Amino acid sequence: MTSTVGQVIRCRAAVAWEAGKPLVMEEVEVAPPQANEVRVKILFTSLCHTDVYFWEAKGQNPLFPRIYGHEAGGIVESVGEGVTDLKPGDHVLPVFTGECKECAHCKSEESNMCDLLRINTDRGVMLNDGKSRFSINGKPIYHFVGTSTFSEYTVIHVGCLAKINPLAPLDKVCVLSCGISTGLGATLNVAKPAKGSTVAVFGLGAVGLAAAEGARIAGASRIIGVDLNSNRFEEAKKFGATEFVNPKDYNKPVQEVIAEMTNGGVDRSVECTGNIDAMISAFECVHDGWGVAVLVGVPHKDAVFKTHPMNLLNERTLKGTFFGNYKPRSDLPSVVEKYMSKELEVEKFITHTVPFSEINKAFEYMLRGEGLRCIIRMEE
Protein backbone atom coordinates (compact mmCIF):
# COMPACT_ATOMS: atom_id res chain seq x y z
CA MET A 1 0.00 0.00 0.00
CA THR A 2 2.78 2.44 0.95
CA SER A 3 4.30 2.12 -2.54
CA THR A 4 1.53 4.30 -4.01
CA VAL A 5 1.98 7.20 -1.55
CA GLY A 6 2.76 10.43 -3.41
CA GLN A 7 2.26 8.71 -6.78
CA VAL A 8 -0.51 8.99 -9.34
CA ILE A 9 -2.70 5.86 -9.09
CA ARG A 10 -4.22 4.36 -12.22
CA CYS A 11 -7.46 2.56 -11.51
CA ARG A 12 -10.97 1.87 -12.81
CA ALA A 13 -13.71 4.46 -12.53
CA ALA A 14 -17.25 4.58 -13.93
CA VAL A 15 -17.32 7.84 -15.87
CA ALA A 16 -20.50 9.68 -16.88
CA TRP A 17 -19.62 11.33 -20.20
CA GLU A 18 -23.10 12.64 -20.96
CA ALA A 19 -26.39 13.24 -19.15
CA GLY A 20 -28.56 10.14 -18.90
CA LYS A 21 -26.12 7.88 -20.85
CA PRO A 22 -24.80 4.66 -19.27
CA LEU A 23 -21.57 5.10 -17.29
CA VAL A 24 -18.41 3.91 -19.04
CA MET A 25 -15.70 1.95 -17.22
CA GLU A 26 -12.44 3.82 -17.83
CA GLU A 27 -8.88 3.77 -16.57
CA VAL A 28 -8.37 7.07 -14.77
CA GLU A 29 -5.39 8.74 -13.12
CA VAL A 30 -5.98 9.76 -9.52
CA ALA A 31 -3.54 12.42 -8.28
CA PRO A 32 -2.12 12.26 -4.74
CA PRO A 33 -4.03 14.14 -2.02
CA GLN A 34 -3.08 17.78 -1.39
CA ALA A 35 -3.30 19.74 1.88
CA ASN A 36 -6.27 18.61 4.02
CA GLU A 37 -7.15 15.89 1.51
CA VAL A 38 -7.20 12.13 1.79
CA ARG A 39 -6.96 9.47 -0.92
CA VAL A 40 -9.35 6.62 -0.20
CA LYS A 41 -9.60 3.11 -1.65
CA ILE A 42 -13.33 2.56 -2.07
CA LEU A 43 -14.45 -1.01 -1.30
CA PHE A 44 -18.23 -0.66 -1.51
CA THR A 45 -20.49 2.06 -2.79
CA SER A 46 -24.26 2.24 -3.22
CA LEU A 47 -26.53 4.21 -5.48
CA CYS A 48 -28.75 6.99 -4.12
CA HIS A 49 -31.41 9.07 -5.90
CA THR A 50 -29.20 12.15 -5.80
CA ASP A 51 -26.62 10.46 -8.07
CA VAL A 52 -29.33 9.56 -10.57
CA TYR A 53 -30.90 13.02 -10.37
CA PHE A 54 -27.64 14.81 -11.25
CA TRP A 55 -26.68 12.21 -13.85
CA GLU A 56 -30.02 12.82 -15.59
CA ALA A 57 -29.23 16.57 -15.26
CA LYS A 58 -32.78 17.69 -15.98
CA GLY A 59 -33.05 21.18 -14.54
CA GLN A 60 -29.58 21.58 -13.00
CA ASN A 61 -26.34 22.80 -14.51
CA PRO A 62 -24.91 19.85 -16.40
CA LEU A 63 -21.26 19.15 -15.56
CA PHE A 64 -19.60 16.38 -17.57
CA PRO A 65 -17.53 14.24 -17.74
CA ARG A 66 -18.05 13.46 -14.10
CA ILE A 67 -17.58 10.65 -11.58
CA TYR A 68 -20.71 10.28 -9.42
CA GLY A 69 -21.22 8.35 -6.17
CA HIS A 70 -21.43 9.49 -2.56
CA GLU A 71 -22.72 6.59 -0.44
CA ALA A 72 -19.70 4.43 0.24
CA GLY A 73 -17.21 2.81 2.55
CA GLY A 74 -13.45 2.60 2.09
CA ILE A 75 -9.95 2.55 3.54
CA VAL A 76 -7.49 5.45 3.68
CA GLU A 77 -4.61 4.91 1.21
CA SER A 78 -2.65 8.11 1.92
CA VAL A 79 -3.14 11.55 3.45
CA GLY A 80 -2.10 15.04 2.37
CA GLU A 81 -0.26 17.71 4.30
CA GLY A 82 -1.92 18.84 7.52
CA VAL A 83 -4.14 15.77 7.93
CA THR A 84 -3.74 14.53 11.49
CA ASP A 85 -7.14 12.89 12.17
CA LEU A 86 -6.71 10.07 9.66
CA LYS A 87 -3.88 7.71 8.68
CA PRO A 88 -3.45 4.99 6.05
CA GLY A 89 -5.53 1.92 6.90
CA ASP A 90 -8.31 3.79 8.72
CA HIS A 91 -11.86 2.78 7.75
CA VAL A 92 -13.97 5.71 6.59
CA LEU A 93 -17.39 6.69 5.28
CA PRO A 94 -17.33 9.59 2.79
CA VAL A 95 -20.10 12.16 3.28
CA PHE A 96 -21.54 14.60 0.69
CA THR A 97 -21.56 17.37 3.27
CA GLY A 98 -18.69 18.07 5.63
CA GLU A 99 -17.60 19.28 9.01
CA CYS A 100 -14.60 21.64 9.12
CA LYS A 101 -14.87 21.88 12.94
CA GLU A 102 -13.95 25.58 12.81
CA CYS A 103 -16.86 27.60 11.39
CA ALA A 104 -19.80 29.01 13.37
CA HIS A 105 -22.02 26.10 12.28
CA CYS A 106 -19.49 23.45 13.28
CA LYS A 107 -19.02 25.18 16.64
CA SER A 108 -22.78 25.36 17.23
CA GLU A 109 -24.27 22.35 18.94
CA GLU A 110 -27.45 22.78 16.92
CA SER A 111 -26.21 23.00 13.33
CA ASN A 112 -24.55 20.61 10.89
CA MET A 113 -24.53 23.08 7.99
CA CYS A 114 -20.77 23.69 7.78
CA ASP A 115 -19.87 26.92 5.95
CA LEU A 116 -16.80 25.48 4.26
CA LEU A 117 -17.95 22.00 3.29
CA ARG A 118 -21.74 22.18 3.02
CA ILE A 119 -23.00 20.23 -0.01
CA ASN A 120 -22.27 21.97 -3.31
CA THR A 121 -23.61 20.11 -6.33
CA ASP A 122 -22.27 22.66 -8.84
CA ARG A 123 -18.63 22.34 -7.80
CA GLY A 124 -16.71 19.65 -9.67
CA VAL A 125 -13.24 20.44 -8.33
CA MET A 126 -11.33 20.36 -5.04
CA LEU A 127 -11.37 23.41 -2.74
CA ASN A 128 -7.61 23.54 -2.28
CA ASP A 129 -6.62 24.54 -5.84
CA GLY A 130 -9.90 24.59 -7.77
CA LYS A 131 -8.75 21.58 -9.83
CA SER A 132 -9.83 17.96 -10.25
CA ARG A 133 -7.73 15.05 -8.95
CA PHE A 134 -9.10 12.77 -11.70
CA SER A 135 -7.92 12.72 -15.30
CA ILE A 136 -7.83 10.56 -18.41
CA ASN A 137 -4.72 11.20 -20.54
CA GLY A 138 -4.40 14.60 -18.90
CA LYS A 139 -8.04 15.63 -19.52
CA PRO A 140 -9.74 16.45 -16.19
CA ILE A 141 -12.84 14.53 -15.06
CA TYR A 142 -15.08 16.38 -12.58
CA HIS A 143 -15.83 15.38 -8.99
CA PHE A 144 -19.35 15.08 -7.55
CA VAL A 145 -20.28 16.48 -4.09
CA GLY A 146 -16.64 16.10 -3.02
CA THR A 147 -16.86 12.29 -2.87
CA SER A 148 -16.93 10.64 -6.37
CA THR A 149 -17.06 7.11 -5.03
CA PHE A 150 -17.70 5.35 -8.36
CA SER A 151 -13.93 4.99 -8.63
CA GLU A 152 -11.57 2.45 -7.07
CA TYR A 153 -9.62 5.38 -5.59
CA THR A 154 -10.88 8.90 -4.91
CA VAL A 155 -9.61 12.06 -3.21
CA ILE A 156 -11.80 13.63 -0.51
CA HIS A 157 -11.45 16.60 1.86
CA VAL A 158 -10.65 15.30 5.37
CA GLY A 159 -13.75 17.15 6.64
CA CYS A 160 -16.00 14.91 4.53
CA LEU A 161 -14.75 11.63 5.99
CA ALA A 162 -16.08 9.92 9.10
CA LYS A 163 -13.59 7.54 10.74
CA ILE A 164 -15.50 4.46 11.87
CA ASN A 165 -15.01 1.26 13.83
CA PRO A 166 -12.69 -0.96 11.71
CA LEU A 167 -14.74 -4.01 12.73
CA ALA A 168 -17.89 -2.64 11.06
CA PRO A 169 -18.60 -4.47 7.77
CA LEU A 170 -18.17 -1.84 5.05
CA ASP A 171 -20.51 -3.71 2.67
CA LYS A 172 -23.34 -2.96 5.12
CA VAL A 173 -22.50 0.32 6.85
CA CYS A 174 -21.70 2.09 3.54
CA VAL A 175 -25.45 2.81 3.25
CA LEU A 176 -25.22 4.93 6.42
CA SER A 177 -23.23 7.62 4.64
CA CYS A 178 -26.33 9.31 3.15
CA GLY A 179 -30.04 8.43 2.89
CA ILE A 180 -30.44 6.06 5.82
CA SER A 181 -28.80 8.43 8.31
CA THR A 182 -30.90 11.29 6.90
CA GLY A 183 -34.21 9.56 7.68
CA LEU A 184 -33.02 8.04 10.94
CA GLY A 185 -31.66 11.35 12.24
CA ALA A 186 -34.78 13.27 11.15
CA THR A 187 -36.73 11.13 13.61
CA LEU A 188 -34.20 10.55 16.40
CA ASN A 189 -32.49 13.97 16.42
CA VAL A 190 -35.22 16.34 15.25
CA ALA A 191 -38.74 14.91 15.69
CA LYS A 192 -37.64 13.12 18.91
CA PRO A 193 -40.81 11.10 19.51
CA ALA A 194 -41.33 9.97 23.10
CA LYS A 195 -41.78 6.27 23.85
CA GLY A 196 -45.38 5.28 23.19
CA SER A 197 -46.13 8.23 20.88
CA THR A 198 -47.74 8.23 17.43
CA VAL A 199 -45.66 9.04 14.35
CA ALA A 200 -46.71 9.55 10.72
CA VAL A 201 -44.10 9.07 7.98
CA PHE A 202 -44.88 10.56 4.56
CA GLY A 203 -43.09 8.80 1.70
CA LEU A 204 -41.86 5.23 2.14
CA GLY A 205 -38.70 5.26 0.02
CA ALA A 206 -35.34 4.49 1.65
CA VAL A 207 -35.32 7.82 3.53
CA GLY A 208 -38.89 7.44 4.85
CA LEU A 209 -38.29 3.81 5.83
CA ALA A 210 -35.22 4.95 7.76
CA ALA A 211 -37.41 7.57 9.47
CA ALA A 212 -39.86 4.76 10.37
CA GLU A 213 -36.92 2.70 11.66
CA GLY A 214 -36.03 5.69 13.88
CA ALA A 215 -39.59 5.76 15.23
CA ARG A 216 -39.39 2.02 15.90
CA ILE A 217 -36.09 2.49 17.78
CA ALA A 218 -37.62 5.38 19.78
CA GLY A 219 -40.44 3.05 20.85
CA ALA A 220 -43.36 4.75 19.05
CA SER A 221 -46.61 2.85 19.63
CA ARG A 222 -48.17 3.63 16.23
CA ILE A 223 -46.25 4.35 13.03
CA ILE A 224 -48.53 5.45 10.20
CA GLY A 225 -46.95 5.13 6.74
CA VAL A 226 -48.35 7.46 4.06
CA ASP A 227 -47.59 6.86 0.39
CA LEU A 228 -49.33 7.21 -2.97
CA ASN A 229 -47.91 3.81 -3.91
CA SER A 230 -49.65 1.05 -1.91
CA ASN A 231 -46.96 -1.47 -2.96
CA ARG A 232 -44.68 0.22 -0.44
CA PHE A 233 -46.64 -0.92 2.60
CA GLU A 234 -45.55 -4.59 2.74
CA GLU A 235 -41.92 -3.44 2.82
CA ALA A 236 -42.72 -0.72 5.37
CA LYS A 237 -43.98 -3.30 7.91
CA LYS A 238 -40.38 -4.54 8.23
CA PHE A 239 -39.42 -1.02 9.34
CA GLY A 240 -42.03 -0.79 12.06
CA ALA A 241 -44.98 0.79 10.20
CA THR A 242 -48.17 -0.39 11.89
CA GLU A 243 -50.78 1.32 9.68
CA PHE A 244 -50.92 2.61 6.17
CA VAL A 245 -52.76 5.46 4.44
CA ASN A 246 -52.89 6.01 0.70
CA PRO A 247 -54.18 9.58 0.16
CA LYS A 248 -55.68 8.41 -3.16
CA ASP A 249 -58.15 6.16 -1.29
CA TYR A 250 -59.96 9.13 0.31
CA ASN A 251 -61.92 12.09 -0.97
CA LYS A 252 -60.75 14.37 1.83
CA PRO A 253 -57.29 15.70 2.71
CA VAL A 254 -55.01 13.08 4.24
CA GLN A 255 -54.39 15.34 7.27
CA GLU A 256 -58.09 14.98 8.14
CA VAL A 257 -57.93 11.20 7.71
CA ILE A 258 -54.96 11.04 10.08
CA ALA A 259 -56.58 13.39 12.63
CA GLU A 260 -59.61 11.08 12.73
CA MET A 261 -57.44 7.98 13.14
CA THR A 262 -55.51 9.51 16.04
CA ASN A 263 -58.03 11.52 18.03
CA GLY A 264 -56.83 14.93 16.80
CA GLY A 265 -53.48 14.29 15.17
CA VAL A 266 -50.17 12.46 15.50
CA ASP A 267 -47.53 13.52 18.02
CA ARG A 268 -44.82 13.67 15.35
CA SER A 269 -44.66 13.52 11.55
CA VAL A 270 -41.69 13.20 9.21
CA GLU A 271 -42.05 14.13 5.53
CA CYS A 272 -39.75 12.25 3.11
CA THR A 273 -41.37 12.78 -0.30
CA GLY A 274 -40.14 16.12 -1.70
CA ASN A 275 -43.78 16.83 -2.67
CA ILE A 276 -45.08 20.19 -1.46
CA ASP A 277 -48.65 18.96 -0.82
CA ALA A 278 -47.29 16.12 1.30
CA MET A 279 -45.22 18.68 3.25
CA ILE A 280 -48.32 20.73 4.05
CA SER A 281 -50.31 17.61 5.00
CA ALA A 282 -47.43 16.40 7.19
CA PHE A 283 -47.53 19.68 9.09
CA GLU A 284 -51.30 19.93 9.39
CA CYS A 285 -51.71 16.32 10.60
CA VAL A 286 -49.81 16.86 13.86
CA HIS A 287 -51.76 17.38 17.08
CA ASP A 288 -52.29 20.96 18.26
CA GLY A 289 -50.63 21.86 21.55
CA TRP A 290 -47.51 19.70 21.08
CA GLY A 291 -47.24 18.20 17.58
CA VAL A 292 -43.95 18.53 15.68
CA ALA A 293 -43.56 18.04 11.92
CA VAL A 294 -40.14 17.60 10.29
CA LEU A 295 -39.52 18.21 6.57
CA VAL A 296 -36.79 16.15 4.90
CA GLY A 297 -37.77 15.94 1.22
CA VAL A 298 -36.16 18.33 -1.26
CA PRO A 299 -38.96 20.28 -3.00
CA HIS A 300 -39.28 21.55 -6.56
CA LYS A 301 -37.42 24.86 -6.91
CA ASP A 302 -40.62 26.90 -7.33
CA ALA A 303 -42.58 25.25 -4.49
CA VAL A 304 -44.18 27.48 -1.82
CA PHE A 305 -45.29 26.21 1.60
CA LYS A 306 -48.78 27.53 2.45
CA THR A 307 -50.72 27.00 5.64
CA HIS A 308 -52.98 29.13 7.79
CA PRO A 309 -50.91 30.82 10.58
CA MET A 310 -53.55 29.58 13.06
CA ASN A 311 -52.06 26.10 12.57
CA LEU A 312 -48.84 27.42 14.11
CA LEU A 313 -50.53 29.58 16.75
CA ASN A 314 -52.30 26.45 17.94
CA GLU A 315 -48.89 25.26 19.11
CA ARG A 316 -47.78 23.05 16.29
CA THR A 317 -44.08 23.17 15.38
CA LEU A 318 -42.62 22.94 11.88
CA LYS A 319 -38.96 22.02 11.43
CA GLY A 320 -36.66 21.05 8.60
CA THR A 321 -33.46 19.06 8.60
CA PHE A 322 -30.45 18.37 6.49
CA PHE A 323 -28.65 14.99 6.77
CA GLY A 324 -30.73 14.19 9.87
CA ASN A 325 -28.87 16.90 11.81
CA TYR A 326 -25.85 14.60 12.10
CA LYS A 327 -22.43 16.24 12.06
CA PRO A 328 -20.60 13.88 9.68
CA ARG A 329 -17.30 13.45 11.52
CA SER A 330 -18.54 13.81 15.09
CA ASP A 331 -21.80 11.84 14.89
CA LEU A 332 -21.64 9.26 12.09
CA PRO A 333 -19.30 6.88 14.01
CA SER A 334 -22.02 6.56 16.68
CA VAL A 335 -24.63 5.66 14.04
CA VAL A 336 -22.30 2.85 12.93
CA GLU A 337 -22.13 1.76 16.58
CA LYS A 338 -25.96 1.59 16.69
CA TYR A 339 -25.66 -0.98 13.89
CA MET A 340 -22.84 -2.82 15.69
CA SER A 341 -24.96 -3.09 18.86
CA LYS A 342 -27.89 -4.43 16.76
CA GLU A 343 -30.11 -1.51 17.75
CA LEU A 344 -30.29 -0.41 14.12
CA GLU A 345 -30.86 -2.91 11.29
CA VAL A 346 -29.33 -1.96 7.95
CA GLU A 347 -29.49 -5.30 6.08
CA LYS A 348 -33.16 -4.78 5.29
CA PHE A 349 -32.31 -1.67 3.25
CA ILE A 350 -29.96 -3.69 1.00
CA THR A 351 -32.01 -5.38 -1.71
CA HIS A 352 -29.43 -5.84 -4.49
CA THR A 353 -25.67 -6.29 -4.97
CA VAL A 354 -23.72 -5.98 -8.24
CA PRO A 355 -20.01 -6.06 -9.15
CA PHE A 356 -18.50 -2.69 -10.17
CA SER A 357 -18.39 -3.70 -13.85
CA GLU A 358 -22.21 -3.93 -13.77
CA ILE A 359 -22.83 -0.56 -12.10
CA ASN A 360 -25.33 0.43 -14.80
CA LYS A 361 -27.63 -2.31 -13.47
CA ALA A 362 -27.89 -0.40 -10.20
CA PHE A 363 -29.15 2.60 -12.20
CA GLU A 364 -31.71 0.37 -13.95
CA TYR A 365 -33.05 -0.95 -10.62
CA MET A 366 -33.44 2.59 -9.29
CA LEU A 367 -35.06 3.90 -12.47
CA ARG A 368 -37.57 1.01 -12.34
CA GLY A 369 -38.22 1.74 -8.64
CA GLU A 370 -37.05 -1.78 -7.76
CA GLY A 371 -35.73 -2.36 -4.24
CA LEU A 372 -34.14 0.12 -1.86
CA ARG A 373 -30.38 0.06 -1.99
CA CYS A 374 -28.04 -1.68 -4.44
CA ILE A 375 -24.50 -2.27 -3.16
CA ILE A 376 -21.74 -2.03 -5.78
CA ARG A 377 -18.69 -4.18 -4.97
CA MET A 378 -15.46 -2.61 -6.23
CA GLU A 379 -13.57 -5.90 -6.04
CA GLU A 380 -15.37 -8.16 -8.50
Catalytic residues: 48-50, 70-71, 100, 103, 106, 114, 118, 178, 373
Contact 239, 246 (CB under 8 A): no
Per CB under 5 A, the list member of 76, 106, 211, 372 interacting with Zn ion is: 106
133/373 with CB nearer ligand NAD? 373
What's the closest the beta carbon of residue 145 comes to Zn ion, in angstroms?
16
Per CB under 6 A, the list member of 16, 28, 184, 207 interacting with ligand NAD is: 207
Sequence-ordered list of residues with C-beta below 8 angstroms from that of 199, at least 6 positions apart, any chain: 187, 191, 193, 212, 215, 218, 220, 222, 223, 224, 266, 267, 268, 269, 270
Contact 308, 282 (CB under 8 A): no
Sequence-ordered list of residues with C-beta below 8 angstroms from that of 358, at least 6 positions apart, any chain: none
Per CB under 6 A, the list member of 60, 120, 165, 229 interacting with ligand NAD is: 229
Instruction: Pick one of Zn ion, ligand NAD, none as the site partner of residue 112 (Cβ within 5 to 8 A by kind).
Output: none
Instruction: Pick one of ligand NAD, Zn ion, none as the site partner of residue 100 (Cβ within 5 to 8 A by kind).
Output: Zn ion
What's the closest the beta carbon of residue 26 comes to ligand NAD, in angstroms?
28
Specify the 3-state DSSP secondary structure of 317.
Answer: strand
Give the residues across from 292 on adjacent strands: 268, 317
Site string for ligand NAD, 271-290 (x = CB under 6 A): -xxxx-xx------------
What's the closest the beta carbon of residue 366 comes to ligand NAD, in angstroms?
8
Residue of 236, 177, 240 whose CA lies nearest to 205: 236
* Residue 119 engages Zn ion in binding (rule: CB under 5 A): no
* Residue 226 engages ligand NAD in binding (rule: CB under 6 A): yes
Q: Which residues of 103-120 are buried (b: 16+ CB within 10 A; e: fewer)?
A: bebbeeeeebbbebbbbe
The interface with ligand NAD within residues 55-114 (CB under 6 A) comprises: none
What's the closest the beta carbon of residue 294 comes to ligand NAD, in angstroms?
10
Please state, in angstroms and rounded to a whole number, the distance separating the CA atoms of residues 31 and 151.
13
* Residue 202 engages ligand NAD in binding (rule: CB under 6 A): yes
Please state, in angstroms and rounded to a whole number, the distance separating the CA atoms of residues 215 and 291.
15
- Which residue number places its CB atom closest to ligand NAD? 205
Total interface residues for ligand NAD by CB under 6 A: 27
Per CB under 5 A, the list member of 28, 48, 113, 114 interacting with Zn ion is: 114
**Segment lying near Zn ion (by CB under 5 A), choices 94-102, 123-131, 207-215, 364-372:** 94-102
**Segment lying near ligand NAD (by CB under 6 A), choices 8-16, 99-107, 293-301, 307-315:** 293-301
The values of phi and psi at residue 51, to 5°, are: -60, -45
**Segment lying near ligand NAD (by CB under 6 A), choices 22-30, 32-40, 203-211, 354-362:** 203-211
Burial of 184 (0-12, 13-18, 19+ CB in 10 A): buried
DSSP per residue, 351-373: EEEEEGGGHHHHHHHHHTT-SSE
Contact 134, 148 (CB under 8 A): yes
* Residue 232 engages ligand NAD in binding (rule: CB under 6 A): yes
221/351 with CB nearer ligand NAD? 351
Distance separating the N- and C-terminal Cα atoms of the chain: 19
49/238 with CB nearer ligand NAD? 49
Binding site for ligand NAD (CB under 6 A): 49, 179, 182, 202-208, 226-229, 232, 247, 272-275, 277-278, 296-298, 322-323
